[in-house]
Amino acid sequence: MAEALFQARLASDYPTLAACTEVHSAGTSAIEGNPATSSAVQAMDLWGIDLEPHHATELTPGLLLAADAVLVMAREHLLQIGRLEPQALKWSTTMKYLSSVSGRIIKQLGEETVREEREARKRIIRVFEILEEQEHAGEFKADIQSRSSDIIDPIGSSLRVYLGVAEDIESSLDDIMKVLFGRPENEVGGEEGL
């Protein structure tokens, strides 16, 4: 669901970047090739997103090393990344944590809209440098002590729980997208016309 919601937000708010940005999900306990759960498919239907074609991917060191940013759902995933590929912790954080510190990061980086792949990479690197500078929690760029950094795993839960998780993801993305890419393109165009 996080991959689908991120891609949808990228396509609607940053269409210029959408063409050159890859978004992948991978699970720390995923069974490679498994389809999305029926509850996940139903939840995404309400967002107008077809999750039927999705198949699970297992998280690997190669995926972690190829990523510019790794946004995880929960602190336990950071611990697993630390065991799997410790170097990747430099560009990994929880979605909720990044959302919670977004104001401080945006204050430093500004809100200028990112329009090119190279600019996006530079901004993402700077985001994690700021997290490194501001946080003195060792190797983790998240509040590793607090559940407030987590979005729960809905596997085996009711559709209602899946919907709640999707709303948590969507809410976090409100801030995360601005941290990573600045103000949405459609907001920029509106202000220039004033």
Provide the β-strand partners of residue 92.
70
* Residue 164: per-residue pLDDT: 96
Please say whether the beta carbons of 60 and 24 come within 8 A.
no
* Residue 190: per-residue pLDDT: 47
* Residue 193: per-residue pLDDT: 40
The domains found in the chain, sorted by start residue, are: 2-181 (3.40.50.2300)
Q: Is the full-model pTM beyond 0.75?
A: yes
At residue 156, φ and ψ (nearest 5 deg) are 85, 0
* Residue 38: per-residue pLDDT: 95
**CA dihedral (54, 57, 62, 65) positive or negative:** positive
* Residue 192: per-residue pLDDT: 43
Residue 71, judged by CB atoms within 10 A of its CB (0-12, 13-18, 19+), counts as buried
* Residue 137: per-residue pLDDT: 53
At residue 146, φ and ψ (nearest 5 deg) are -120, 135
* Residue 121: per-residue pLDDT: 96
Rounded to an integer, what distance in angstroms lies between the CA atom of residue 20 and that of residue 15? 9
* Residue 188: per-residue pLDDT: 63
Rounded to an integer, what distance in angstroms lies between the CA atom of residue 157 and that of residue 148? 20
Chunked into runs of 10 residues, the chain (194 residues) has average pLDDT values of 96 94 91 92 96 94 96 94 95 94 95 95 95 70 76 93 96 97 81 42
